[in-house]
Homo-oligomer: A and B are copies of this chain.
Amino acid sequence: MKVLNSYLDVDRVQAALPDKVLPGIFMRNVISAEDRVPNFRMRVVEFEPGASCPRHSHWWEHQVFVLSGQGTMVSGDKEITLAKDMVIYIAPNEEHGFANSTDETLCFVCLVPLAADE
């Protein structure tokens, strides 16, 4: 068993896509391969004010629970406003992008399968 008294106890690391660093976007790998998980792992993602992640896709899915802040998510011709308590499932190979144009950090839990590259 692993117990973190707060997700903030895990240092945040810079987020990146394969071809670029993503300024203002950070991840806390709160349950990771180091914990010998068999199937999936948990990160807490932070988008600082002004941060954005361009549209991209990959073979793995995301399961997202929004903790705090606001922002937008785009996929195809959809634009979704993100807010606390929202739940989002992004299927494998589904295009998605995120942005935070507010003055507050957007924070969400994001689950991926164990073998995801990011």
Q: Which A residues lie at the B interface, using CB under 8 A? A: 1-8, 30-31, 35-42, 61, 63, 65, 75, 78, 80, 83, 85-92, 94, 96, 109, 111, 113
Instruction: Give chain B nearest CB distance to A61 CB in angstroms.
Output: 6
Q: In the complex, which residue of chain B has the Cβ closest to the Cβ of A39?
A: B113
- This chain: copies in complex: 2
Q: In the complex, which residue of chain B has the Cβ closest to the Cβ of A113?
A: B39
Q: In the complex, which residue of chain B has the Cβ closest to the Cβ of A83?
A: B5
Quick one: which of A65, A80, A87, A91 has the most chain B CB within 10 A?
A: A87
Instruction: Give chain B nearest CB distance to A36 CB in angstroms.
Output: 7
CA distance A1 to B89 in the complex (A): 5
